[in-house]
Chain A
Amino acid sequence: MTTHRDTDLREALRRRYANTPQLPTDFTERMMERANTKPVQRHRWQWAASVAACLLIVVGIGLHHELNETSQQIVQAPSMPEVHEVVNKPIEAEAPQPIAAVEPQPIQPHRTARKSRTHLQELPDTLGNGIWRSERNVTLALKILSECATTIQREEQEVRNHIIQATFNATPQPANAVLVTNEAGDYEVIETKRIREI
């Protein structure tokens, strides 16, 4: 390999870098300080970040659980009694006849699937009563509806009979024609001959 003499270049470099700065006297001390403190700082910082992250996760889980419980209470507890009252009041007022009291039905255990036993234990004993009240309300409503239907049918029959009677009286009828009530309770015009046959 050629060794370049290049004395001009060497001299220029020697002059250019003749005053190369010296390493500061306290360099070793500062270097050692940095070498031994930096990892500790990083370690502390990492610990702080880990603890903060853990706290954040715990708070997040707690908040989520709290929100879930609150939403369940809002959905279940207040709605059931309100339905009971709303349904009952107008029906009682409008009903033409007194409604027979509904026999209390035995309360059966709630069969809705739960997530866990722990969750089930936390629930209050009165939970689910509202649902049974609502079932009773539905039974009552059905009963009232059937009563109403009977009343309407009876009133219609009365009107129909009244029209038949009025028509019978107003129009000329054969001598043997008579107004009778059939098995269903409706008025019917028949001749006496037929009565004999019957």
Chain B
Amino acid sequence: MKSGSTVKIDEQIVDAVKGDRRRGQELMIGHYGQEVFGMIARLAGNVMDAEELTQDTFLRAFNHIDSYDPRRASLGTWLCRIAYRLTLDFLKRRSPMTVSIEDSEVWQTDISDEQLEAELSTGNEERISRLELLIDQLPPDERTLLTLHYFEDRPLDECSFIMDATPHALANRLYRIRKKLYKELRQKAKGTRQKTS
């Protein structure tokens, strides 16, 4: 949720960009540069590409500052939305996305949301390390959703604005990703047990 101070700072930055353009641009970069760059870097996985995409994001924001509506989202969320679109386009151009073969099998595993939460909250060191590796194998959009929701602690409403999807659709997608991760963890555990026996 947007706090009063954030709203005030956003207003000041937007006014500055519209008025004294150079000062406003510097203010915006100084305030939101790291947030946007971090998100892009996590998604793109390359610092050079991330820097280029961050520049593109801010250039687009400067040129379309009039289309920013503070009632819909904060300035940071709006910038993240632009960054997400640009990065996703960039990744699609670089390597066309492929749908995981396991996706169709995920739905066959019947497990409730509560059970999933319990399975993903064990505190098991081995599981955490395994999850760390599995995160890298996820498609960019799924990785972004996990990062925005779990790492940056953004509510689904905000995630839905950034990723241009309804909160309900994102909740379903999140459930599906968690289920997929759980299934991978279980398979790994089965394989280890068989090896030991």
Contacts and interface: CB of A to CB of B under 8 A. Distances in A.
A35 interface: yes
A7 B132 contact: no
B189 interface: no
Instruction: Give the dominant DSSP class at B's interface.
Output: helix
| Interface size grouping (class) on chain A | 20 to 34
A6 B178 contact: yes
Contacts of A36: 22
Given A10-B150, A13-B147, A27-B54, A34 B122 contact: no
Chain A contact residues, majority secondary structure: helix
A22 B25 CA distance: 19
B115 to A, nearest CB: 12
Contacts of B165: none
B113 A13 contact: no
A182 interface: no
A8 B29 contact: no
Nearest to B174: A4
B120 interface: yes
A12 B135 contact: yes
A32 B135 CA distance: 35
Contacts of B121: 5-8
B117 to A, nearest CB: 6
A12 B120 CA distance: 10
Interface string A10-23: 11111111001111
B22 A16 contact: no
A8 B127 contact: yes
B128 A5 contact: no
A27 B32 CA distance: 12
Contacts of A11: 128
Interface residues of B, number: 47
Contact of A24 (B25, B51, B120, B174): B51
A8 B134 CA distance: 12
Contacts, number: 103
A128 B146 CA distance: 91
A28 interface: yes
B53 to A, nearest CB: 12
B76 interface: no
B131 interface: yes
A16 B150 CA distance: 12
B150 A6 contact: yes
A8 B171 contact: no
Interface string B20-63: 00100110011001100110011000010011001100110010
A5 B30 CA distance: 33
A67 B135 CA distance: 72
A117 to B, nearest CB: 54
A20 B124 CA distance: 24
A31 interface: yes
Interface in B155-184: 155-156, 167, 171, 174, 178, 181
Given A6-B178, A8-B121, A27 B151 contact: no
B123 A31 contact: no
A107 B33 CA distance: 89
Interface of A: 1-2, 4-17, 20-24, 27-28, 30-32, 34-36, 38
Q: Which 4 interchain pairs have the tightest Cβ spacing?
A: A12-B131, A6-B120, A7-B121, A12-B132
15 contacts: A4-B117, A5-B117, A10-B151, A14-B151, A15-B128, A15-B132, A20-B41, A21-B41, A23-B37, A27-B51, A31-B29, A31-B58, A32-B22, A32-B25, A34-B59
Given A2-B113, A22-B34, A27-B29, 17 more contacts: A1-B156, A4-B174, A6-B120, A6-B150, A6-B178, A8-B123, A8-B128, A10-B150, A13-B135, A13-B151, A16-B136, A23-B37, A24-B51, A31-B54, A32-B29, A34-B59, A35-B59
